[in-house]
């Protein structure tokens, strides 16, 4: 999620002060990713440094209004036109946890998967309940919020399917053959273990 670009896009509608920006971000995302005010102002400082926003008027309460520059508006247009690039390598905590757990002798992997499945299904139920709790299903705020919730529901459903797939794959392997002992090779600095194994095989 790009907080930077999202705040810039909101400012493209008109000048806002910090707390107002946070409220506008929450309105558009259903408070799914709450931001603290410090994060807002740090982002605004960086946007100002990059020439994308500038300080404008100050109201009678002392609120400093930030306004977008021409360069900032161009940045928003470019952001909206470009697809979101997904990272190539996975840093998904659950995938890494199960991959490591699958190689540890004595770990009850079925229990690890079962605990995660219960948590994933509980989250899915909560998301589905939240989806239908809105009061104005045709309003723009409700639509924006439901798009975010739908994305989270699809992700939770995909996680549940992946857990089923993982459990089925692991059932094909005898547990005693899955543990990896610590390697006795000392890897050279800065070189992955696979490269070393390929060298040794030559």
138 compared with 26, residue with greater pLDDT: 26
Structural domain boundaries in the chain: 3-81, 93-177
- Check whether 173 has a pLDDT greater than 80: no
Looking at domain 3-81, its CATH architecture is Orthogonal Bundle (1.10)
119 or 106, higher pLDDT:
119
> Rounded to whole angstroms, how far apart are CA atoms 144 and 150?
10
3-class secondary-structure state, position 191: coil
- Average pLDDT (155-161) is 91
Q: Is the pLDDT of residue 32 over 80?
A: no
pLDDT of residue 93: 82
**Spatial separation of the C-alpha atoms in residues 73 and 10, rounded to whole Å:** 10
DSSP string, 2-15: -HHHHHHHHHTTS-
96-118 pLDDT per residue, tens: 888 888 877 777 888 889 999 99
What percent of the chain clears pLDDT 70, i.e. is strictly above it?
83
pLDDT averaged over every residue in the chain? 83
Q: From start to end of 23-135, where are the E strands?
A: 53-58, 64-68
C-alpha torsion sign, points 86, 92, 96, 102: negative
Please say if the pLDDT value at position 71 is more than 90: yes
Confidence of residue 147 (pLDDT cuts 50, 70, 90): confident
Is the separation of the CB atoms in 130 and 149 below 8 Å?
A: yes
Q: What is the pTM of this model?
A: 0.64
């Amino acid at each position: 999620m790009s907080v930077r670009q999202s705040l810039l896009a909101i400012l493209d509608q008109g000048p806002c002060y910090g707390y107002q920006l946070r409220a506008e971000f929450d309105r558009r995302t259903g408070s799914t990713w709450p931001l603290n005010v410090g994060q807002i102002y740090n982002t605004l400082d960086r946007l100002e440094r990059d020439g994308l926003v500038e300080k404008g008027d100050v109201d009678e309460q002392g609120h400093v209004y930030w306004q977008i520059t021409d360069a900032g508006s161009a940045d928003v247009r470019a952001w909206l036109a470009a697809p979101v690039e997904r990272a190539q390598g996975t840093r998904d905590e659950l995938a890494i946890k199960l991959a490591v757990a699958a190689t540890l002798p004595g770990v009850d992997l079925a229990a690890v998967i079962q605990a995660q499945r219960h948590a994933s299904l509980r989250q899915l139920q909560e998301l589905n309940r939240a989806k239908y709790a809105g009061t104005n299903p045709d309003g723009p705020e409700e639509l924006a919020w439901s798009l975010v919730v739908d994305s989270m529901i699809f992700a939770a459903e995909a996680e549940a399917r992946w857990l089923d797939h993982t459990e089925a794959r692991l059932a094909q392997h005898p547990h005693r053959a899955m543990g990896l002992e610590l390697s006795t090779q000392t890897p050279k600095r800065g070189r992955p273990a696979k490269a070393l194994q390929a060298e040794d095989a030559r």
